């Protein structure tokens, strides 16, 4: 139960922040956990759940004197937060985050982090469709990958401290270039969410009677899409805005592939369909073998 940090400031206390707070507590990783969030109502929930040692609606106060500041808000809030906390960051402190896009984090907040403070962007690839502090649980990260994307020249000791934190959460660590991360996540996560949101919205657009039937017979495949499309709206808005380029590229590829299937259906070309449906099974086997199923 070796303490890794004296004071960890969690800025944002949703699903990920709350889950991390529980890990930090369970593993005894910090002398003190300070919780900041924007809304008093959410902060009260976090306090009721006992997620921190101290609670504040002032981000700068939370970050003051912390040796780790972990950004756990939607991406769109990062810039203003880092501007607010920068004057209170102490030399040697680490600023890290859990956001699903990494290139924009380095571009946007990299220049705002004071000299002597380390920026180690990270992304624990795990989650559920639930949000808010009450959705957090300590085993969320177990057996999943955490991708760290330190910019060139980052102090290896700072990277290793963040890696150690996530290892204690049960995660496997991967170091990656931020741009490559954003491309991989565009297809594994961002595009699937976009498509799920879109098809659920198509259902919203159907006449009321059909919509009711759709919900009733969701067991046929649609229910998986509704689960994905129930994820936090603001978090996902920011992901798409921040990873615009990679998402649009993957969306272009997907649209081409879908058009090919559409054409095969229109022309009754069973061979194209069967061949493609057979090919995709191998990817599922890969996911199962990688123990991510």
Nearer to a copy of itself, 154 or 189 (CB): 189
User: Contact at 8 Å (CB) between 53 and 214?
Assistant: no
Q: Collapsing DSSP states into helix, strand and coil, what is residue 56?
A: strand
For residues 206-245, which are near a copy of itself according to CB under 8 A?
A: 206, 210-211, 213-231, 233-234, 236-238, 240-241, 244
292 near a copy of itself (CB under 8 A): yes
**Contact string (CB under 8 A) for a copy of itself, positions 106-135, x = contact:** -------------------xxx-x------
Tell me, by CB under 8 A, how many residues bind a copy of itself: 95
Nearer to a copy of itself, 65 or 192 (CB): 192
User: Contact at 8 Å (CB) between 12 and 36?
Assistant: yes
Q: How far apart are CA 90 and CA 67, in angstroms?
A: 7
Torsion sign across C-alpha atoms 265, 269, 271, 272: negative
**Contact string (CB under 8 A) for a copy of itself, positions 255-274, x = contact:** x-xx--xx-xxx-x-x--xx
8, burial (CB in 10 Å: exposed 0-12, middle 13-18, buried 19+): buried
For residues 52-91, which are near a copy of itself according to CB under 8 A?
A: 76
- Termini Cα distance of the chain: 31
279 near a copy of itself (CB under 8 A): yes
For residues 188-207, which are near a copy of itself according to CB under 8 A?
A: 188-206
What six digits make up the tokens of 160?
Answer: 């290793």
Nearer to a copy of itself, 63 or 235 (CB): 235
């Amino acid at each position: 139960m070796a303490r890794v940090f004296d004071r960890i400031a969690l800025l944002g206390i949703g699903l990920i922040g709350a889950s991390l707070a529980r890990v930090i507590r369970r593993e005894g990783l910090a002398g003190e956990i300070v919780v900041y969030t924007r809304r008093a109502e959410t902060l009260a929930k976090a306090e009721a759940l006992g997620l921190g040692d101290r609670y504040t609606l002032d981000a700068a106060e939370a970050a003051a004197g912390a040796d780790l500041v972990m950004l756990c808000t939607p991406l769109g809030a990062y810039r203003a937060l880092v501007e607010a906390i920068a004057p209170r960051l102490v030399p040697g402190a680490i600023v890290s985050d859990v956001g699903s896009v990494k290139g924009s984090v380095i571009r946007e907040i990299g220049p705002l982090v004071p000299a002597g403070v380390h920026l180690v962007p990270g992304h624990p690839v795990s989650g559920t469709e639930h949000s808010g502090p009450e959705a957090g649980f300590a085993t969320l990260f177990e057996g999943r990958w955490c991708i760290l994307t330190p910019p060139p020249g980052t102090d290896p000791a700072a990277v290793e401290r963040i890696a150690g934190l996530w290892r204690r959460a049960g995660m496997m660590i991967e170091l990656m270039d931020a741009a490559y991360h954003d491309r991989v996540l565009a297809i594994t996560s961002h595009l699937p969410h976009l498509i799920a949101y879109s098809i659920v919205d198509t259902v919203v657009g159907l006449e009321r009677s059909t919509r009711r039937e759709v919900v009733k017979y969701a067991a046929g495949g649609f229910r998986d899409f509704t689960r994905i499309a129930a994820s936090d709206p603001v978090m996902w808005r920011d992901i798409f805005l921040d990873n615009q380029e990679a998402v649009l590229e993957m969306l272009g590829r997907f649209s081409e592939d879908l058009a090919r299937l559409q054409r095969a259906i229109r022309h009754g070309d069973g061979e194209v369909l069967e061949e493609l449906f057979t090919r995709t099974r191998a990817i599922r086997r890969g996911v199962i073998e990688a123990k991510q199923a």
